[in-house]
Structure 1
C-alpha cells in the first residue's frame, strides 16, 4: 500500500503532480517561517545571556563588601544610540574576576571598547565622543562580551581611590552569569516580560495563519481525492488501506515541503541577521536551531500532515457511497459569536481594573486578544453566511444570485479561503493601533522641542555644591559651542515634595526669560519652581502654562546646591554631543548627561522593538495569508470544474462564471476585512484604556498602505485564477467528469 500510495502521489497524472507541488510549496513556506520564528527565539535567548555580565554590580550574589574589583555601570549615548560604560578598578594585589571578551582588566588611564564603538570613535570628532575616554585604548572586546555585533560598550580603568565612594560603585567578587530575564534589578538586557510578550505576539500572529495555510493546502482537491478513494473502496479496498494510501500521499508532499522549508530558512537566514528584533542585530552563531528544534519540525510536520489526511478521508472510511450522497451542510448558528464576545468582555472587564503585576497583565491582555482571534475564526462562517444571504436577497443579476446562494450553502468553505488574511489584518490593526497611540502620547517629541534639544546633567544621587567661579567657567565653555542657545543652572528645592513645593528645582525668572523654549514665569514672579531638565511634563501644550512661582529671593539661589545643569541647543548632533562631552568631563562618575527624550529611551526603545517586530509580523502574516488564499481559490476551481462546465453547456457565458468566482471570493474577503480591522481597533482601544488610560490615535498612512496593499494583492490573486476557469470548464470536462 505504501508503494502504491507513492505511485499515486507522483505518477498518476498532471493533476497529482500539480497537487503535490502546491502542497509541498505551501508546507515549505510554513516550515520556513516556523523555523525562522524558532531560530529568532533562540537568538533572543542567546543574546540575553550575553547581556548578563554587564549587570554584575546589580545582582546581590556578585556584590561583596570586600570584593577585589570596584564596578560602576552607567548608560551613555551618542546620536540616539546607547553606550554602556563600565568603570572598573582593581584593588591592589587582588586577583580580580575577569569579564568575558577581555584578556585582562584595563588599568588606570586605559580602556577597552567594542569594535563598533572603536569604529564610531574613529569616525567622530573627538570633542563629540572620543574625549569622554581619557587615556589609551587597551584593546577591543571580544564577541563573548557583546550582545550583538553593533553593540557600543566601553570598559574604562581607574585607580581604586577614584571609584571608592562614588554613587553606584560596588565592590564585586564575581562576574554575573544570571540571565537578565531572571534578574529583577537588571536594566541592561531583555526583561522576562519582553521575552514573554515576544513569544506571545509571534505565536499568535504567525503560527495561527501558518496553521490555516497548512490546513488549506492539505485540503486541496479534497473532493476529487474522496471520489478516487471511494472507487477503491467499491472495488474491495479496506478502510485501513485507504487510510494508508491517503496518509502516504499527504506525507510525501509534507516531507518534500519540509525539506524545502529548511532550504527556505537557510536562504532567509542572512537577511534575519540584519533585523534588530531586540534593538541589537544578532550574532550569526546565536541565530541557530537546536537538534531538538530540527527533530521536532522534521518529524512533526509530516506526522501532522498524515493525521490531517486521515481526518479528511473519514467519510470514505465510513462508507464509499457517502461521498456521492452529498447534502448541503447545516448552516452555522449565531452561537459562534460567543467566543468573540467573551474576548471583548474580558478586555472590557479590565478597563479600570488593571491587574497589579506584569505577569497578570500579560495573562489578562494576551488571553483576551487570543480569545478574540479564536472567536473571529469561529464566527467567520456565520458572518459569511449572513453577508451572502443579504447578497442573494438584494441580487438582480445571475452572477450575484449564484454566488450568494453558493456561499449561503457552504459558508465554511468560503470563509476558509480568507481566514488567514483576516487574522493578518486583525494583528496588523492591534499592533499598529497600540504602537501609534503610545508613540503619540509618550514617544520622541511628545514634550516639545526642548524634549529632544535640551541636554542636562542631573545629579540624581544628590545635589552638589559648586562655587560660582567653576559654574561660570563651565557655562562659558558650553556657550562657546556652536548651536548652544542657553545654559541654565537649576538649584535644589529642598522642600520638594510638599504642598508648597510642586517641583524639585528653582530657576531665576531673569535667566529663564533668555530662552522661552524652556518655559516662562507668571507675571511679576522672580523665581520659578521647575522640573528636572526644565522639561514640562504637565499637560502644557506649547508652554502655555507658566512655571509655578517660588517663594524665594533671586539673591538666595547661589547658596543652594546645584540640582542640574541644562544646555538647550539647536538640536544638531554636533551641538548635543559636544555639550554632553563637556558635561561628562566636568562631572565624572555621575549619571551621563542626556535629553528628556533619552531618559524616556528605555520605553521608546521598547516601542521601536515592538514596531520592528510588528512590521515583520505584518509582512509575514500577509505573505502567509496570500498563500492561503491562492491555495484555497485554486483548489476551489479545480474541485468545481465539472459544475462550472455543466453551467457553460447550459448556455451560461464564461463572463458570468468569472463574476461568480470573483463575488464568491470578494464578499467573504471584504466582510472579514471590515470585521478584522474593527475588531483589531476595538482590542487596541480596550488595551490602551486599561493599561495607559489612552484613547486610540488614528494610525499613520503607512497602516492604510499596508492594508490596501494586502487587499489589492488578495484581489489580484483571485483575478489571476480567472484564466484557469476558461481552460478547465470546457465540454471535455463535463463529458469525462
Structure 2
C-alpha cells in the first residue's frame, strides 16, 4: 500500500502535484519558524553565558589563584553603553578574563573590535582621553557577548584601584547570570525564552492552520476517491496508509526546505538585536534534540492532520454522502472571553503585591481572553454572516452570507491563526506605546537628553571643592551652561538646592516659585517629572535655605547643558578625567535608554508576528478558496448555465473570504487594546494611548496583502466553471 500511495501522490495529475507543493510550502514555513525560535532560545543562552565573566565581583573565592583588584562600571558614548573593566594583578597567578591572553599592566588596555573602531575614528577629546594608557590588543570572541559589544579592560596600579573603591577577586565568574545569585550584568534568560516561546507560538499557529487547510485541499474529491476504494474492499487501515504516505511525502520535502530556509536566513536573523545586542551567527545553533524534534515531529504532525481531515471516510465508506448542515455555534463560547476581561478588570485598584502574584493574575487573564477569542471565532463569524445576509441587496452578498452562516466553523478555520498574532501584537503595541510615552526615553531635543550630570555620591568620598571643577568645561564649543547643585541639608539622597538667580540664568531647567530665593531640585536638575521640559515652564519647590548659604554647602553635582553631541562627549570626557571615582557622568536619557530599547525590541518582535501572520492567513484563505472552488465546480457551473454572471460568483467567493478575515482582525485588535488598557490601569495606573501611525499602516498593509492573495485565486472561477465542467461532472 505504501508503493500504491506514492504512485497516487506523484502521478495523480496537476491537482495532486499542486496539493503536494502547497503542503510542502506550508510545512517549510512552519519548520523555518520553529527552527528560528529554537535557535533563538539557544542564542540567548550562549550570549548570556558570555556575560558571566563581567560578574566576577560576586564570584566565590578561590584558594588556587592570586587575587586581583577588580572594578566594573558603565560608561556611555553617544547613547551606547560601554563596559569598562579596570584590573590590577596582585600576583603572577591572578585570574585572566576570557578573550585576552593576560591581564594588562598599568597604562595598557584591551578593547573590543567595535570599541577599537570607535577609538580610531573619534576625536580623542570625545572618547579616547577617558582611557589611560594605550591599546595592546583586541578582546576575542569568547569574551564578547555580541559582535557590537563595547568593552575595554584597563590595567591600573593596585593603589589606584584601591583608591577608586575596587574589590579583590580570585576567580572569574563562569556561572550563567540567570543561575547566579547576585549577578547584575546579563540577560533574564527565562523572560527571553518565555518571550521567544510566545513569538514562536504566535507564528506557528497560523502556519499550522495553513498546513491543515492545505491538507483539506480538494477534500471532497479525495473523500470520494477513498470512499470508492472502501466500497471495493479497501480497509480503513489501508486508506490511512495511503493518506499518510501523501502527507509524509509533502512533509518530508517541506522539512528539508525548511532547514534550507533557516540556514539561508540565519546570518540575517543573527543581526536582529532582540536582546539589545545582535548575535554571532554561530549562536543561532541547533542541538541534536532540536533537529530530531523538528525532523521527526513535523512529518508525524502532518500525518495526524491528514488522518483527522479524512476521518469520515475511515469511519464509513458512505460517510461522504451524509452531509448535513453543522449545528450553529452557541453563545456559551463567549464565556472564557468575558471571564478573562472580568479578571483583568477586577485587579484595577487591587494589584497583587508580589511579582509572582501579578504574573499569575495578568497572564491567566490574557490566556483566558485568547482562548475565548479562538472559541468565540465561529460564533462571531456566524454573527457577521447573518448581518451580511440580512442587509444584502445583491445576490452575491445573500449567497455568501447564507453559506457562511450555515458553516461558520469552516469560514473561521482558515483565519483563526490571525487571532493569536493580532491579539499578541495589539497587547504589546498598546502596552509598550503607553509605557514609553509615560516613562520611556526622553525626546532627543529635551534638556533631559542634551544635559549630563556628574553626581558625587557620599560613598565615593569627599565632595570636590569649587576649585576642582574643570574650568575648561565652559570653554568647550557647544556647551551652553555649567551649573553646580549643592546638597540639600533638609533632604537625603540626591536632592539638592540651587539659587533662584542661577536657575533663572539656566532657563531650560525650570524656575522657582514666586518669592522664593532658593529652589529644591533634583541632583541632575531634571527629575522624572521634568522629562518633557524644554523651556522654563517647570516650577520647582522652594528650599528652606538662605541664598547666601548655598555656596557654603557641599557640591552635590555638576550639570552641563550642550547643543551638540561633540560638546556633550567632550564635557563627559573632561569630567571623567577630573573625577574618575564613582559613577560616570550621563544624561537622564541614557539612563532610561536601556529599558526603553528592550521594550522597542519586544514591539519589533510583535510587529514581525503580525507582518508574517497576515500573509500566511491570506495564503490559508487562498488555499481554502481554491479548495472550495474545486469542490463546488458543478454547482457554480450550473449557476453559470442558468445565467448567473461570472462577476457575481466572484463576489460570492470574495465575500466568503473577506468577511471572516475582517471580523477576526477587528475583534482581535479591539480585544488586544482593551486587554492592554485593563492591564495598564491595574498595574501602572496609566490610560491606554493610541498606537502611532506605523501600527495602522502595518495592519492595513498586511490586510491588503492578504486580500491580494485571495484575489489571485478568483481567475480560477472561469476555468473550473465552464459548460464542459457541468457536462463532465
TM bin (shorter chain) = over 0.9
Check conservation: 1:128, 1:578, Cα contact below 8 A: yes
TM-score (norm 2): 0.96
Alignment of 1:43-82 (within 5 A): 43-57=43-57, 59=58, 61=60, 68-82=67-81
Check conservation: 2:443, 2:449, Cα contact below 8 A: no
1:240-290 CA-partner distances (Å, limit 9, x unpaired): 111111111111111111111111111211211221111111112111111
| CA–CA distance in structure 1, aligned partners of residues 260 and 505 of structure 2 | 64
Quick one: which of 547, 567, 572 aligns to 1:580? 572
CA deviation after TM superposition for structure 1 residue 200, in Å: 4.2
CA RMSD of aligned residues (A): 2.1
Bigger mean CA deviation after superposition, 519-528 or 707-716: 519-528
Asked if residue 567 in structure 1 is aligned to residue 560 in structure 2, the reply is yes
| CA–CA distance in structure 1, aligned partners of residues 687 and 219 of structure 2 | 47
Check conservation: 2:442, 2:532, Cα contact below 8 A: no
Tell me what 2:632 maps to. Answer: 640
Tell me what 1:248 maps to. Answer: 245
Alignment of 1:18-29 (within 5 A): 18-29=18-29
Secondary structure at the aligned position of 1:320 is classed as coil
Check conservation: 1:67, 1:171, Cα contact below 8 A: no
Asked if residue 520 in structure 1 is aligned to residue 519 in structure 2, the reply is no
Alignment of 1:619-630 (within 5 A): 619-630=611-622
Tell me what 1:557 maps to. Answer: 550
Quick one: which of 685, 698, 708 aligns to 1:706? 698
Quick one: which of 157, 160, 170 aligns to 2:158? 160
Bigger mean CA deviation after superposition, 227-236 or 549-558: 549-558
Alignment of 1:309-324 (within 5 A): 309-324=306-321
Tell me what 1:205 maps to. Answer: 202
Check conservation: 1:5, 1:249, Cα contact below 8 A: yes
Asked if residue 271 in structure 1 is aligned to residue 263 in structure 2, the reply is no
Secondary structure at the aligned position of 2:691 is classed as coil
Structure 1 residues 121 and 333: alpha-carbon distance in aligned structure 2, compared to 1, 3 A threshold: same
Alignment of 1:371-450 (within 5 A): 371-445=368-442, 449-450=446-447
CA deviation after TM superposition for structure 1 residue 462, in Å: 5.0
TM-score (norm 1): 0.95
Secondary structure at the aligned position of 2:50 is classed as helix
| CA–CA distance in structure 1, aligned partners of residues 718 and 266 of structure 2 | 41
The runs of at least 4 aligned residues of structure 1 exceeding 4 Å deviation read 539-543
CA deviation after TM superposition for structure 1 residue 642, in Å: 2.4
Alignment of 1:92-241 (within 5 A): 93-167=91-165, 169-192=166-189, 194-241=191-238
Tell me what 2:540 maps to. Answer: 547
Structure 1 residues 2 and 44: alpha-carbon distance in aligned structure 2, compared to 1, 3 A threshold: same
| CA–CA distance in structure 1, aligned partners of residues 201 and 300 of structure 2 | 22
| CA–CA distance in structure 2, aligned partners of residues 541 and 440 of structure 1 | 10
Tell me what 1:507 maps to. Answer: 498
1:446-489 CA-partner distances (Å, limit 9, x unpaired): 69711101101112335733233223xx1x31111111111111
Secondary structure at the aligned position of 2:47 is classed as helix
- Provide the aligned length of Structure 1 versus Structure 2: 726
Q: Note the residue ranges of structure 1 that are not aligned, 5 or more in a row.
A: none
1:9-56 CA-partner distances (Å, limit 9, x unpaired): 111111111111111111111111111111112111111111111111
| CA–CA distance in structure 2, aligned partners of residues 245 and 115 of structure 1 | 58
Tell me what 1:367 maps to. Answer: 364
1:616-670 CA-partner distances (Å, limit 9, x unpaired): 3332333433332332222222222222122222322111101101111111122
Secondary structure at the aligned position of 1:594 is classed as coil
Secondary structure at the aligned position of 1:538 is classed as helix
Asked if residue 307 in structure 1 is aligned to residue 304 in structure 2, the reply is yes
Bigger mean CA deviation after superposition, 627-636 or 245-254: 627-636
